[in-house]
């Protein structure tokens, strides 16, 4: 008796089978989460607080492992890892726990005479099951901070960490499974295929942090199910530098906001500077001096400078820097070490407007300086481009500050500093136009993952016969008076005088 031998499958059939399995797994995953959400446990205040406390404990218990994972993925300095990722996440949890009881309360609202007697309120309720797709540049913070908002609002959630930060992704899977309620909070690792399978499912909201190209894919997938999205994208964040300022403080803040934010690999990092032709040499000299203080004479050897995430991004940045019309514009830095995936802090002066470096988001350690005749001309340059996620201004001029706030449209503005606004959780953090849609942080995270449900309460007292057929001119006059809200007109209609 011979056994039946199946013919070998083609690579296409094997890939199709794997994809079918991924889709099936994704569908089963969502089904399980909906079942957990339908029990109502995620709606309870106690459950929400317990999960948020677990995130704090997760971060406290495994601080060293988190820092090591970030070092493996990005060579991120311990200082940056703690300040920009761990401490911000813990602060978000702590503040949410402190305020959550108040956030969950219904908001009483006024009613009109049209529905008298009645009362009304707005009740925040969870959306349901949330998908969070996070970024690689701050892979710990940008994975769990949205989950904080989803949990606070009472949702179940899936986290898909970035495959470009594999050490952090693997650690998140392990820690979330150990510390959190896995019936309602899950982590899915993987790359394009797994993300595609997840996007084919119906979610109650999708949040994505990353670039506009993928953001468009997310929106297209969400549109098939009419799923709302929260997109944190980015863009070319400008910095306007006026004269007559404390230049040392300004340059140090620009440096830490650019190169001290993951070596420029941050959505809110300065993408280019605008200053006057007259002031540019002074600014450049100050930047050079402070950069040497921060990163030494050989910044490629500095332990305080993150590396480029991978060889593809290193090549992309090299292409921006090596373009013929750009390479001669370097006034500081420009050093590269492909073996270490490191590029030194680089300043360029007056690169052409049509160069690649001015056409796309840099997301790296290159910083062009554009010069204008007068600082007010900066607004026209910024407004001629897509709206950025953040825009910065350094000045002591009150009128210039006012015009900046009034004239420049961006996700957020910051005057006399860089990037620090994201640490203020009372401010919404989000983009506008191509830099994103929706906002989160603090109460804004709770609102982002909640539905504000309007509820009107009426009694059987005070029923108005004028609402019901058969209709008459007298009833119409009374209803017009009621809808006007005028007590005089209502009185006249009731007396038959209208």
Domain count, the chain: 3
Same domain, 221 and 145: yes
Same domain, 197 and 320: no
Range in 140-144, 287-291, 490-494 the model is least confident about: 490-494
Residue 498: pLDDT over 80: no
Distance from C-alpha of 143 to C-alpha of 308, rounded to nearest angstrom: 20
- 176 with 243, same domain: the answer is no
What is the per-residue pLDDT across 311-328, written as a single tens digit (0 to 9) for each?
Answer: 999 999 999 999 999 999
Q: pTM of this prediction?
A: 0.91
| Same domain flag for 102 and 207 | yes
Higher local confidence (pLDDT), 304 or 466: 304
The tens digit of pLDDT for each residue in 343-393 reads 999 999 999 999 999 999 999 999 999 999 999 999 999 999 999 999 999
Q: Give the domain CATH number at 320.
A: 3.40.309.10
Distances in whole angstroms, Cα of residue 406 to Cα of each of 85, 245, 354, 372, 402: 32, 21, 28, 20, 6
Region 268-290: mean pLDDT is 98
Residues 256 and 199 grouped into a single domain: no
**φ and ψ at 204, to 5 degrees?**
-95, -20
269 and 305 inside one domain: yes
DSSP letter string over 327-359?
Answer: HTTEEE---EETTTTEE--EEEES--TTSGGGT
> Does residue 426 belong to any structural domain of this protein?
yes
pLDDT grade for 23, boundaries at 50, 70 and 90:
low
Answer yes or no: do 253 and 227 share one domain: no
**93 part of the active site:** no
Mean pLDDT of 161-183: 97
5 confidence band (pLDDT: 50, 70, 90): very low
- Select from 123, 126, 143, 145 the least CA-distant residue to 134: 143
Q: Are residues 188 and 286 in the same domain?
A: no
The pLDDT value given to residue 19: 46
Q: Is the pLDDT of residue 476 over 70?
A: yes
Same-domain status, 117 and 149: yes
Name the catalytic one among 80, 267, 290, 434.
Answer: 267
Residue 457 has pLDDT above 90, yes or no: yes
Residue 203 located in a structural domain: yes
Residues 58 and 157 in one domain: yes
Residue 458 belongs to what H/E stretch?
strand 450-458
Asked whether residue 17 is domain-assigned, the answer is: no
Per the domain annotation, does 193 fall within a domain? yes
Residues 155 and 207 in one domain: yes
16 within domain boundaries? no
The verdict on residue 12 lying in a domain is no
Active site residue 232: yes
CA 367, 368, 373, 379 torsion-angle sign:
negative
Give residue 132's region: left, alpha or beta (phi > 0; psi -120 to 50): beta
The predicted pLDDT at position 101 comes to 98
Q: What is the pLDDT of residue 264?
A: 97
Residue 327 belongs to domain spanning = 238-434
Among 173, 170, 163, CA closest to 133: 163
Angstrom distance (rounded) from CA 367 to CA 348? 6
Whole-number percent of the chain with pLDDT over 70: 95
> In the predicted model, what is the mean pLDDT of residues 63-92?
97
Residue 1 lies in a domain: no
Do residues 196 and 249 share a domain?
A: no
Point out the catalytic residue in the list 80, 85, 93, 232: 232
Q: Quick one: pLDDT band at residue 1, thresholds 50, 70, 90?
A: very low
What is the structure's pLDDT at 113?
78
What average pLDDT score do residues 437-452 get? Answer: 98
Strands 412-415 and 330-332: unpaired
Task: Please indicate, yes or no, if residue 11 is contained in any of the structural domains.
Answer: no
Is the pLDDT confidence value at 162 over 60? yes
């Amino acid at each position: 008796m011979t056994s039946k031998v199946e013919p070998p499958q083609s690579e296409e059939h094997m890939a199709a089978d794997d994809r079918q399995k991924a889709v099936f797994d994704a569908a089963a995953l969502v089904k399980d989460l909906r079942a957990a959400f339908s029990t109502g446990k995620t709606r309870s205040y106690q459950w929400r607080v317990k999960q948020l406390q677990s995130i704090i404990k997760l971060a406290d218990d495994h601080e060293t492992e988190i820092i090591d994972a970030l070092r493996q993925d990005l060579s991120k300095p311990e200082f940056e890892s703690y300040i920009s990722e761990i401490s911000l996440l813990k602060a978000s949890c702590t503040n949410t726990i402190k305020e959550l009881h108040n956030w969950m309360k219904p908001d009483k609202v006024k009613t009109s005479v049209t529905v008298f007697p009645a009362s009304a309120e707005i009740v925040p309720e969870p959306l349901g099951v949330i998908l969070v797709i996070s970024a690689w540049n701050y892979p710990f913070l940008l994975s769990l901070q949205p989950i904080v908002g989803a949990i606070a609002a009472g949702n179940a959630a899936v986290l898909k960490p970035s495959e470009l930060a594999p050490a952090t992704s693997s650690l998140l899977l392990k820690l979330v499974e150990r510390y959190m309620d896995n019936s309602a909070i899950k982590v899915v690792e993987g790359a394009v295929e797994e993300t595609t399978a997840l996007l084919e499912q119906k979610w109650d909201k999708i949040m994505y942090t990353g670039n506009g190209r993928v953001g468009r894919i997310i929106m297209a997938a969400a549109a098939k199910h009419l799923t709302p999205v929260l997109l944190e994208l980015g863009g070319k964040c400008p910095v306007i530098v006026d004269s007559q300022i404390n230049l040392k403080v300004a340059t140090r803040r620009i440096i830490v906001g650019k190169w001290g934010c993951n070596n420029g690999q941050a959505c809110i990092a300065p993408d280019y500077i605008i200053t006057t032709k007259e002031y540019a040499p002074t600014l450049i000299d100050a930047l050079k001096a402070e950069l040497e203080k921060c990163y030494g004479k050989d910044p490629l050897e500095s332990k305080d400078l993150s590396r480029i995430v991978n060889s593809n991004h290193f090549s992309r940045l090299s292409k921006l820097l090596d373009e013929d019309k750009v390479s001669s514009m370097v006034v500081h830095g420009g050093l590269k070490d492909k073996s270490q995936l490191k590029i030194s802090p680089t300043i360029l002066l007056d690169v052409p407007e049509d160069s690649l470096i001015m056409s796309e988001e840099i997301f790296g350690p290159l910083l062009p300086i554009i010069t204008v005749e007068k600082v007010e001309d900066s607004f026209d340059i910024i407004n001629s481009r897509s709206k950025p996620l953040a825009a910065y201004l350094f000045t002591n001029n009150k009128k210039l500050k006012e015009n900046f706030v009034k004239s420049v449209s961006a996700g957020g503005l910051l005057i006399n500093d860089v990037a620090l606004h994201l640490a203020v959780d009372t401010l919404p953090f989000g983009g506008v136009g191509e830099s994103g849609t929706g906002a989160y942080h603090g109460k804004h995270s709770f609102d982002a993952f909640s539905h504000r449900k309007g509820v009107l309460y009426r009694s059987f007292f005070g029923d108005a016969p004028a609402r019901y057929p058969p209709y008459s001119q007298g009833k119409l006059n009374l209803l017009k008076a009621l809808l006007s809200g005028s007590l005089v007109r209502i009185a006249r209609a009731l007396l038959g005088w209208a």
